[in-house]
Amino acid sequence: MTAQTLPPVDTLIVVDVQSAFVTGDGAVPDAARLVDRTAVLLARARAAGALVVHLQNDGPPGAEDEPHTPGWELHHPVVPGPAEAVVRKPYDDGFRETGLGDLLAGHGTRGVAVCGVMSEMCVQATARTALERGYRVVVPFDAHATQDCPAVPGVADAVPAAVVSRVAAYALGSDAEVTAPAAAVSFIVPGAPGDGVRGSAA
């Protein structure tokens, strides 16, 4: 897969790139890489006039992402405007009990690139619902991340974060495009011709 063969998408969904998950002791492994790749995707989407959606997780009281605590804050600055929005969410799935579905429908979204944290939880859940709703879904393999899965004595050994991320993406099935890097993802304005149909570049 190359940047020349991957059709563009019209919407970028940045999942939970919040301070608690990309800075300090609670950061995902290789957080610098994740921040770099998501920043590249943000810059490219904005330059193309694509819709940009920042999902922001509202953790429970005492959690590292409890609302209005330092860890809850979005790491990437939001650029105010009609093509960029923040959607707060109480569950892993960014569509569940939020305005995300209406937002995408209102902009005429046909294809989404999904990036952020955590691969096997909020990224996968949001991407899966996007697939179920008929959107073309691209999950750049180097633009989502998670934590190591700890060992459970007598049950399983530890699983490195990179393996967890890879399995989480592949578990989305053949309709999702999960082998392209962030560098291969391009964007267009929602409603413009040229967005590939779902699965055309898998």
Residues recognised as catalytic: 122
Judge whether 83 and 49 are in contact, CB under 8 Å.
Answer: yes
First to last CA, the chain: 9
**3-state per-residue secondary structure call for 47-80:** HHCCEEEEEEECCCCCCCCCCCCHHHCECCCCCC
**d(C-alpha 153, C-alpha 112), whole Å:** 39
Q: Are 175 and 131 in contact (CB under 8 A)?
A: yes
Residue 14 token pair:
């940045």
